Amino acid sequence: MQISSKEVIFLIGLTSVIFLIAPLFLILYVLSYNRRKRKHQEDTLTMQKTFETELLKTQMEVQEQTLKTVAYDLHDNIGQLLSLTTITLSSVDLNDSPGATEKLALVEDLTMRSIKEVKALSRLLHGEEIVSRGLAAAIDFELEWLRRSDKFKINYSYNKEVIDLDAIKATILFRLFQEIINNIIQHAKATEINIDLNQNYDLCTLQITDNGIGFNVDEALIRKSGMGLHNIVKRSAMLQGSANITSSPAKGSSIIIKIPQQPTTNGKLKN
């Protein structure tokens, strides 16, 4: 069967059109790919800047919270110890040897307690160092101050063998923990607080529950008073994680934060 000249011309034309259009499609594809690549780079840069801004804000808030704790403890704890020391010393009667000996022993005890409290405050001032020791230890250290108030029953549990978050995530999650505890102290009217920290190779889960008066989560997120909850949700998402907040009036509240993680060594991600 012979091919007519018209068919030959048609095939040649079709082939020519294909060879002309193919480079055009290739050029358009390359241009589109470069645009998407630039957009991705811009989005990545924007996300990085946002993350660095939030991290700086978090570090400043941690410092502010630490300074407030130091101020309260200086006034309420160390200040009282030093006042008792001064009063005891002023009441020492050197002519009463047995009484003087007893009071000087009390002064020595008060002085040693003051030194211990000052050392504890010194460690608290190094917030980054606390977090670098591990998130579990940092939370335990923070709870030690709350236990002293005798206003709450504190139940804290965590898995013994942990793979800690990297330093940045640990600092932000520690700040979220502080914010949640502060909300409970100020608003929940709770008598019992339960903290559970579970860390493994894939996920870090922090759950905090209380037996307080509770609240309507939806209304709290809408109202101005819900800004703290918005902050918790937003920062959890910033760490590619999630925050699940459940509560109802008169039934307490529960916040579960889940953050994906990778194994670390001394606060640095393993390669």
Instruction: Select the more confidently predicted residue: 202 or 13.
Output: 202
For every residue of the chain, DSSP letters joined together read -PPPHHHHHHHHHHHHHHHHHHHHHHHHHHHHHHHHHHHHHHHHHHHHHHHHHHHHHHHHHHHHHHHHHHHHHIIIIIHHHHHHHHHHHHT--TT-HHHHHHHHHHHHHHHHHHHHHHHHHHHHH-HHHHHHT-HHHHHHHHHHHHHTT-SSEEEEEE-SS--PPPHHHHHHHHHHHHHHHHHIIIII--SEEEEEEEE-SSEEEEEEEE-S----HHHHHHSGGGHHHHHHHHHHHHTT-EEEEEE-TTS-EEEEEEEE---EETTEE--
Compute and round to an integer the Cα radius of gyration of the chain: 31
pLDDT at 271: 35
CB of 137 closer than 8 Å to CB of 170: no
Q: Taking the CB of residue 244, how many other CB atoms lie within 10 A of it?
A: 13
Per-domain boundaries in the chain:
153-271
Please give the Cα distance from 211 to 197 (Å, whole number). 18
* Section 219-238 average pLDDT: 75
Q: What is the pLDDT of residues 179-195, one digit of tens each?
A: 898 889 888 999 999 99
Instruction: Select the more confidently predicted residue: 146 or 257.
Output: 257
**Whether the model pTM is above 0.75:** no
CB of 178 closer than 8 Å to CB of 142: yes
Q: What is the pLDDT of residues 30-84, one digit of tens each?
A: 888 888 888 888 887 887 777 777 766 766 666 666 666 667 667 666 776 777 7
Q: Taking the CB of residue 168, how many other CB atoms lie within 10 A of it?
A: 17
Query: Where residue 259 falls among pLDDT bands split at 50, 70, 90?
Result: very high
Q: How many residues does the chain have?
A: 271
Query: Where residue 14 falls among pLDDT bands split at 50, 70, 90?
Result: confident
Q: Is residue 266 scored above 60 in pLDDT?
A: no
* From 17-21, 90-94, 168-172, the region with the lowest mean pLDDT: 17-21
pLDDT at 270: 40
Q: What is the pLDDT of residues 196-217, one digit of tens each?
A: 999 888 889 999 999 999 998 8
Q: What is the mean pLDDT of the chain?
A: 78
Q: Does domain 153-271 have CATH number 3.40.920.10?
A: no
Percent of the chain with pLDDT strictly greater than 70:
75
Percent of the chain with pLDDT strictly greater than 90:
15
Q: Is residue 127 scored above 60 in pLDDT?
A: no
